[in-house]
Amino acid sequence: MNKPRPQAIKEAKDIINRLAIMFKISQHFDVNNEAVVRSVDAFIEAVRPVINSENIVKIELLGEYFHFNDARVRYSVQYYVNFDFLIAEFRKRNMGSITLSGDINRRDLQDFIKAFMSCLTTDAPYITLKGITDAIETVDIGPLKHVKEDNVLDRRQTLRRTYFNAVSQLRSSKARVRPGEKVDLRRARLVVNSIIDLVMHEEQMMLSMAAIKDYDEYTYYHSVNVSILSLAVGMKLGLNRKKLSELGMAAFLHDIGKVTIPDEILNKPSKFDDREWAIMKTHPNQGLLIILSNTKMESFTIRSAIVAYDHHRNYDGSGYPLLPVDLYLDLYSNIVTIADRFDAMTSARVYSRVPRPPEEALRILLEGAGREVDPVLVRLFARVIGVFPIGTLVALDTMELGVVYRGNSEEPHRPMLIIIADSKGRKVDGMYVDLAERGLDGRYRRTIKKTLDANKYNLNISDYLFEAYS
């Protein structure tokens, strides 16, 4: 596309989302129904400028991703549910692509929708759909391409789906709390249990996903990331499955009280005044009330309520809410507090656009041991995320630049990297190295010389991490 890349990506996501909406509505209404017509017209309005500039719009499904005019479109929390629906509909018909060209119009799309819906009643949906579509001048389809995938790719796809499903679930749960509905804790537990399974078997991959940051969706990514980080610590402590489930739920819901904070405060781009800060500090109390008032009393409910109330209190009793008596934080609160602060410091937020580098955030936490955070647990946390946490930008003795995407428990100072620039400063794509690798002379091939601040280089570390597990 001839527009700046960010705008092109936004347009691609919007068009694919509109296509999904059009098919969703058409499942329930005739093609001449007003709702269907509106969705068709909205889709045409979105694709026409792209056709005018590039001659065609091709939406293709390859593996777990849609490609828009040959460029891969990544998952987005905002569109996740509709993207997932569309993937399923393509596969039901063994259809891999839709290509639009020429003077696309409402009648052509209505004819295509009729064929798209009716072909599932036949024994060969794709052949039936292709036969009808061949008579439509502006629309063409292609068969589903079966991308060869090994077990590693399958695990990565499961991981991504679980992660984004968790973000999407939290998003919808909080949306329902606003009008006063109950939190669906049953669905939340299913999501948390799926995260536990992946953390148990693919800890490093999940920690890498937890290093993904999204400024626009900070609230939702943050709670899922805190869950992953907390569960990784819980596993190191040897907690059984029941306790891991309690810990994961407590972390997942620790910020639920923020749904009661007005958006103009929650999304304020500058510092809070005294009144706004007083309101913001009520969210732990509100979180406790929301959890306790929305379900029957069970151990995980009580645990979650305590953590929601305690996660801004410090190890020495300071912080907020202030209590009239000295009450120590329980184990789950101590773990979630550390995970919460680490993810918050390493994320860009409305009022703090520049995140701290992971290794700096870890250093700050360690400096607060015994005062702000539990001294034993914060050191365990440091072991979990490594000397060079995932997402750290490093300079090597070879003059190359790399991003840590996987730790090394046996040699913590020698993680695995994505090389992003060679010794001459030229961009490198798809080069992965293990710093524990030695040459024929027995010496390490590469060694970290120093860490760097990715913000100074205007790098989006999440892009590299996502690529590493795609």
pLDDT tens profile 339-352: 999 999 988 665 55
For the four alpha carbons of 381, 248, 345 and 285, in that order, the dihedral sign comes to: negative
User: Which of 187, 193, 195, 155 is closest to 171 using CA atoms?
Assistant: 187
Whole-angstrom CA distances from 76 to 9, 10, 65, 84, 222 are 11, 10, 11, 11, 15
**Residues forming beta bridges with residue 71, ordered by sequence position:** 68
Which of the listed residues 344, 368, 385 is the one where a domain comes to its end? 385
**Most confidently predicted of 195-204, 233-242, 349-358:** 233-242
| Residue 182's pLDDT band (cuts 50, 70, 90) | low
How many domains does one find in the chain?
A: 3
Residues 6+ apart with CB under 8 A from 65: 72, 73, 74, 470
Q: Are 467 and 418 in contact (CB under 8 A)?
A: yes
Both 317 and 232 in one domain: the answer is: yes
Both 32 and 118 in one domain: the answer is: yes
Both 122 and 174 in one domain: the answer is: no
Both 331 and 372 in one domain: the answer is: yes
Q: Which residues constitute the domain of residue 106?
A: 5-143
The helix/strand/coil state of 373 is strand
Both 380 and 398 in one domain: the answer is: no
Both 18 and 131 in one domain: the answer is: yes
DSSP E strands in 233-364: the ranges are none
CA distance 45 to 43: 5
What is the CA angle 10-463-354, rounded to 5?
90
- Which tops the pLDDT comparison, 110 or 172? 110
Both 210 and 315 in one domain: the answer is: yes
DSSP E strands in 89-228: the ranges are 95-101, 139-143
Both 275 and 179 in one domain: the answer is: yes
Residues 6+ apart with CB under 8 A from 429: none
- For residue 150, the one-letter residue type is D
CA distance 388 to 394: 9
Which of the listed residues 353, 385, 417 is the one where a domain comes to its end? 385
Q: Provide the 8-state DSSP code for 423.
A: T
Tokens of 159: 């991981």
Taking only the tens place, the pLDDT of each residue in 255-311 is: 989 888 888 888 777 788 899 999 999 999 999 988 888 666 677 888 999 999 999
Both 303 and 439 in one domain: the answer is: no
Both 104 and 247 in one domain: the answer is: no
Task: Give the lowest-confidence range in 187-191, 319-323, 343-347, 399-403.
Answer: 187-191
Task: Give the lowest-confidence range in 90-94, 138-142, 352-356.
Answer: 352-356
pLDDT of residue 304: 92
Q: Are 178 and 185 in contact (CB under 8 A)?
A: no
Which of the listed residues 123, 143, 163 is the one where a domain comes to its end? 143
Both 49 and 29 in one domain: the answer is: yes
Q: Provide the 8-state DSSP code for 391.
A: T
Both 104 and 214 in one domain: the answer is: no
